[in-house]
């Protein structure tokens, strides 16, 4: 059985909720990623911050990214998957909530992220086609 841990991109990093968006953008650049999971004071997932969130939700609104925190941008219920979940559970979670990135948790710790690129590298053409239809519908 292929699991979330098998297809994830290992080494994902949290951005603490108290960090500013300018620091988040710097970390995204350093890690060469477009999204960061947001951790609360107890190291629990409280959201995901994307580069688009920074641009559209902060800069385009006339806000200063040095004054807005990652926690300020966290909205809704964060979605995640256990590392030992099978690929069908990963696809169901992403499709059911129409999300493109999914944090992978093991023993209550972030161990990786699953993105569209990870799916493309590990799934059959049929699985990818079905996933794209549901996510982009």
What span, in angstroms and rounded, lies between the C-alpha atoms of 7 and 3? Answer: 7
Section 119-135 average pLDDT = 82
pLDDT digits (tens, 9 = 90+) for 42-88: 888 999 999 999 999 999 999 999 999 999 998 878 899 999 999 98
Over the chain, what is the mean pLDDT? 91
The answer to whether residue 137 scores a pLDDT higher than 80 is no
Q: Is the pLDDT of residue 120 over 90?
A: no
Model pTM? 0.85
**Using the 8-state DSSP alphabet, how is residue 3 labeled?**
B
CB neighbours of 38 closer than 8 A, spacing ≥ 6?
Answer: 14, 15, 16, 17, 45, 46, 47, 48, 49, 70, 71, 73, 74, 78
Domains of the chain, with CATH numbers?
4-135 (3.10.580.10)
Which pLDDT value is given to residue 127? 81
CA dist list (Å): 8 to 3, 74, 87, 95:
9, 22, 10, 16
Query: What's the rounded mean pLDDT across residues 7-21?
Result: 93
pLDDT at 134: 78
Give residue 42's pLDDT: 87
Residues with Cβ < 8 Å from 95, sequence gap 6 or more?
131, 134, 135
Average pLDDT over residues 100-117: 92
| pLDDT reading at 131 higher than 80 | no
């Amino acid at each position: 059985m292929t699991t979330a841990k098998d297809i994830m991109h290992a080494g994902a990093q949290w951005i603490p909720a108290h960090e500013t968006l300018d620091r988040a953008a710097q970390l995204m650049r350093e890690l060469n990623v477009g999204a960061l999971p947001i951790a609360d004071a107890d190291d629990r997932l409280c959201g995901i911050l994307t580069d688009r969130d920074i641009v559209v939700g902060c800069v385009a609104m006339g806000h200063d990214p040095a004054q807005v925190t990652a926690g300020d941008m966290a909205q809704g219920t964060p979605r995640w998957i256990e590392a030992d979940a099978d690929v069908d559970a990963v696809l169901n979670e992403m499709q059911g909530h129409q999300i493109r990135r999914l944090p992978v948790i093991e023993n209550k710790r972030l161990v990786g992220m699953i993105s569209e690129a990870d799916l493309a590298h590990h799934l059959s053409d049929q699985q990818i086609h079905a996933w794209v239809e549901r996510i982009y519908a």
